Structure 1
C-alpha cells in the first residue's frame, strides 16, 4: 500500500511563488493572517501546504488592494471557525469590494485628467508652442 504525502513548501519556495519575502511571511504568521497555524518540520522550519500558498495569494491581493490587516485577520478567523458565518465573510468581502471600486473610479478620474494634460502637451510640442504652456494659465 502506498501513502501519498502532501506536497509542502519551504518559506523560500513560498516566497518565490508569491513574491513575498520571508520577513513578510513571518509577519503574516505573527499577525494571525492564516486560518490555521503554520506547521513546522522536524527541524522547526516552517512548511506550507498548497492550500496555504493559495490562501497567501488571496491574502496578498486583499492586502495590495488596501484591506487593513485587522480585516484580513477577521476574515481568517471566520474561515477557521468554519460554516455558519458565511454571511459575515460575505459582508466583509463586499465592504472591501465597494472600497476597491471607489478607488478604481478615483483612479479612472485621475487618469482622465492626466490623459487630457498629455494631449495638451503633445499638441503644443508638435506645434512648437510648448514654451507657452508655462504662461497660458490652466493649460500648463
Structure 2
C-alpha cells in the first residue's frame, strides 16, 4: 500500500506517518525499488497498533521505547510486558478518574432535570 492509501485507511496524515517512522514510533517501512514507501500487512499492523495506543493516551516516549525493545528481539519480552503493564495501570487510573467525572456530570445533569421539571410544573399551574 502507498502512504496515501495507508493515510486514508487509518485516517492519519501522510506527514504523521512519516513523522512516526522518523522518530521510531513505527519500524522503518519497506520501500519499493524506486524508494517509495510500500506498506505491507506488518507495517499496517504497526500503524493500527500505534493509532490505538495513542488514542488511549499512551505517551509517544513509551511507545518509542516499546518499538525499540521489540526490534531488539525476544530477549526483551519481559521488558516489553513490564512497559505495557505500567501503561495499562496508568490507563486504568485515568479511566477511573474519567468515570468519577462522568458520574459527577450525571448528578449535575439530574439536578438540572429536576429543577427544570419543577419550573415546568409551576408554569403549568399558572
- TM-score norm. by structure 2 comes to 0.89
Task: List gaps (5 residues or longer) in structure 2.
Answer: 121-126
Match of 2:3 among 1, 11, 15: 11
Q: Which runs of 4+ in 1 moved over 2 A?
A: none
Match of 1:21 among 13, 20, 41: 13
Larger helix proportion, structure 1 or 2? Answer: 2
Larger strand proportion, structure 1 or 2? Answer: 1
- TM-score norm. by structure 1 comes to 0.81
Deviates more, 1:76-85 or 1:64-73: 64-73
Match of 1:126 among 84, 102, 117: 117
Listed as ranges, the matches of 1:1-140 within 5 Å are: 9-35=1-27, 37-128=28-119
Q: RMSD of the TM alignment (CA)?
A: 1.3
CA distance in 2, matches of 1:51, 1:42: 19
Task: List gaps (5 residues or longer) in structure 1.
Answer: 1-8, 130-140
